[in-house]
Homo-oligomer: A and B are copies of this chain.
Amino acid sequence: MSDSAVLLIDCPDRRGLIARVSSLLYEHGANILHADEHSDEVLGLFFMRIEFALQSDGLTMDLDNFRAAFTPIATDLNMNWSLTSSAERPRVALFCSRYTHCMNDLLQRWFSGELHCDIPLIISNHSDAQLLADFYGIPFEHVPVTADARAAAEARQLELLAANNIDLVVLARYMQVLSPEFVAQYPSRIINVHHSFLPAFTGARPYHAAHSRGVKIIGATSHYVTATLDDGPIIEQNVARITHREQVEDLIAKGRDLERSVLFRAVKLHLQRRILCYSNKTVVFD
């Protein structure tokens, strides 16, 4: 496939935004493949994602030229924006603890080409995932986390992330809570999976809580991590029916499939630059 790029914008809503952006793209030789937009009428905000081919009709678009021409317009219209070429491969680090089902799922999909990224680093506070990391040829770093050495562990993790130029951190059932200071280093760039249908059953042991409450449907949620536990912008949720026959261990088993699916979906959407955050919510252009 030929090269493409994605332009993501959010700004105060006003008439003519689509015309202005699409015209500029046209003038620079872009061929729009997908355009998607959303307005929040209450807040007066506008969101847009445009994916375009860099080659078409024998033309090749110069992305730097476009960027130079677009910057003053974006400033004028008060835009938050980003422009990313498909030639850049995001660099992802995976964190996990003892449960490796999410890790296994992500690695297998990545290996078979479903995730457009590099994975140069796996970090865990346990060694269970070592063999899996070896199988896929990914450097594995064991960083133990103890109650009285949490700060040191996070310092080591941040060092590893920096050394590997990591763009996105994926918590694949990483069972430690990250400090607000850590989270602040990677705003909207840490994705977690919580094993409940948020906002129900935040915190520890959600399957036990779901069983105790007698719900008939369980769920899992992937979200960006913020300073408040289990409270960040939700990216994806999925659910499964349960019956009175299913005990806590059955919920845990069924939940594993939900966790895998919502975490994979979130990572894929992020890598495809389909997510915008605002007001602690997400716009997902899928």
Which of B18, B32, B239 meets A217, CB within 8 Å?
B239
Which one of A35-43, A80-88, A154-162, A163-171 is at the interface? Answer: A35-43
- Bound CA span A25–B22, Å: 13
On whether the beta carbons of A15 and B19 are closer than 8 Å, the reply is no
- Bound CA span A86–B133, Å: 34
Interface centre among A26, A235, A284 (most CB of B within 10 A): A26
Taking A214-B280, A216-B234, A244-B281 as contacts, is the C-beta distance between A15 and B26 under 8 angstroms? yes
On whether the beta carbons of B31 and A15 are closer than 8 Å, the reply is yes
On whether the beta carbons of B101 and A112 are closer than 8 Å, the reply is yes
Residues on the B chain within 8 Å of A36, using CB: 36
* Chain A binding surface, main DSSP class: mixed
Taking A18-B22, A31-B15, A261-B257 as contacts, is the C-beta distance between A215 and B199 under 8 angstroms? yes
On whether the beta carbons of A33 and B25 are closer than 8 Å, the reply is no
- A68 lies within 8 A of chain B by Cβ: no
Taking A18-B32, A33-B39 as contacts, is the C-beta distance between A237 and B217 under 8 angstroms? yes
Give A191-227 interface residues, CB cut-off 8 Å to B: 197-201, 213-217, 219
A243 nearest in chain B by CB position: B284
1/0 per residue, CB under 8 A from B, across A119-141: the answer is 00000000000010001000000
Which of B135, B200, B280 meets A135, CB within 8 Å?
B135
Taking A26-B16, A114-B253 as contacts, is the C-beta distance between A215 and B244 under 8 angstroms? no
Residues on the B chain within 8 Å of A37, using CB: 32, 34-35
- Bound CA span A191–B109, Å: 24
Extra A-B contacts (4), CB below 8 Å, given A15-B57, A16-B26, A217-B237? A23-B23, A38-B244, A214-B280, A216-B237
Listed by A's residue number, 30 A-B pairs whose Cβ atoms lie within 8 Å are A15-B56, A16-B26, A18-B18, A18-B32, A19-B22, A19-B26, A22-B22, A32-B37, A34-B39, A38-B244, A101-B108, A104-B108, A131-B135, A197-B197, A198-B213, A199-B213, A213-B234, A214-B233, A214-B280, A214-B281, A214-B282, A215-B237, A216-B236, A216-B237, A217-B237, A217-B238, A217-B239, A239-B239, A244-B283, A257-B261
